[in-house]
Amino acid sequence: MGKGSLKIMKVGIVGLGLIGGSFAKAYAEKGHEVYALDTDGSTLAFAGISGVLAGELTKENASSCDLILVCVYPQAAIDFCRDFGPYFGEKPVIIDCCGTKAFVVEECGKAAQEFGFTYVGGHPMAGTQFSGFKYARANLFNGAPMVIVPPDFGDIVLLSHIKELLAPAGFGSFSVTTAARHDSLIAFTSQLAHVVSNAYVKSPTAQEHQGFSAGSYRDLTRVAWLNPEMWAELFLDNKRNLLFELDEIIGHLQEYRSAIEAEDRERLVQLLDDGRRCKEEADRI
């Protein structure tokens, strides 16, 4: 899409943080018109001055958008859909980009039914340890997976349209799933990793690691640098799934601790080999 035979799209972005800002820059770079809404007026002004935005997203122009990407916290996404719902009309496809899906999809879906707009749950599987518009980049989503939670899995026309609308972002693949399955998997692949990373650096030894750390430390602690308010909301929204994963890892850690405390070399070798094989099998999928 963009310049050429395909039409220029009008895209609305709600929230100009890392994700929303990267969407804004990606679409603007491809020549599309980007309109945004953000609670921080200075961020909105900077995005406008930098040439990313064509204007502000309002209730008056929302209905003329082809696509509106809602890149804010879950409750804020729900509030936005309810507030702007009467003004969307039938044209724009509204896609939330929140890190949890069950609660958001249920509530935004209710708003969509009440006000008659098209809503789809989404989760771009990309990011960095940093947050904010200044860290946003147009190529953040290049080759990344995009998870879609549609209202109707049999609506092939809508799914095809969504892929066309999202094409300028450069996603490498699309996965269509249910909100429940998304939240179950994301508790393991993302949320548990953030909890473990954040807890790991609380050791007093972390303040003395300079000169004694390499790739293992960097890989394990990268996401400890997170947005506390956002991740707290995501963890609590997905409480049941995340507690399951926490109980699993705590149980396994206790196994390692017991073997080490007992100096049970044979058991420790077995545990380490089991983990190595689990990683090998997971990487084949």
* Full 3-state SS string of the chain: CCCCCCCCCEEEEECCCHHHHHHHHHHHHCCCEEEEECCCHHHHHHHHHCCCCCEECCCCCHHHCCEEEECCCHHHHHHHHHHHHHHHCCCCEEEECCCCCHHHHHHHHHHHHHHCCEEEEEEECCCCCCCCHHHCCCCCCCCCEEEEECCCCCCHHHHHHHHHHHHHHCCCEEEECCHHHHHHHHHHHHHHHHHHHHHHCCCHHHHHCCCCCCHHHHHHHHHHCCCHHHHHHHHHHCHHHHHHHHHHHHHHHHHHHHHHHCCCHHHHHHHHHHHHHHHHHHHHC
Q: Which of 47-61, 124-138, 140-154, 167-181 has the lowest mean pLDDT?
A: 124-138
Contact 59, 31 (CB under 8 A): no
Contact 149, 122 (CB under 8 A): yes
pLDDT the model gives residue 203: 93
**In this structure, what token pair is assigned to residue 274?**
């089991």
- Kindly list the structural domains of the chain, giving each domain's residue range(s) and its CATH number in brackets, ordered by start: 10-177 (3.40.50.720), 182-284 (1.10.3660.10)
pLDDT band for 284, please (50, 70, 90 cuts). Answer: confident
Q: Is the pLDDT of residue 4 over 50?
A: no
pTM: 0.89
More reliable by pLDDT, 285 or 55? 55
pLDDT (tens digit per residue) in 95-134: 999 999 999 999 999 999 999 999 999 999 998 777 899 9
pLDDT the model gives residue 210: 81
Average pLDDT for residues 220-229, to the nearest whole number? 91
Task: Look over the chain and give the mean of its residue pLDDT values, rounded to a whole number.
Answer: 94
pLDDT band for 6, please (50, 70, 90 cuts). Answer: low
pLDDT the model gives residue 7: 85
pLDDT the model gives residue 2: 39
pLDDT (tens digit per residue) in 172-206: 999 999 999 999 999 999 999 999 999 999 999 98
Q: What percent of the chain has pLDDT over 70?
A: 98
More reliable by pLDDT, 7 or 235? 235
pLDDT band for 62, please (50, 70, 90 cuts). Answer: very high
Contact 81, 94 (CB under 8 A): yes
Average pLDDT for residues 40-67, to the nearest whole number? 96
pLDDT (tens digit per residue) in 79-89: 999 999 999 99
| Residue 198 identity | N
pLDDT the model gives residue 244: 98
Q: Is the pLDDT of residue 29 over 50?
A: yes
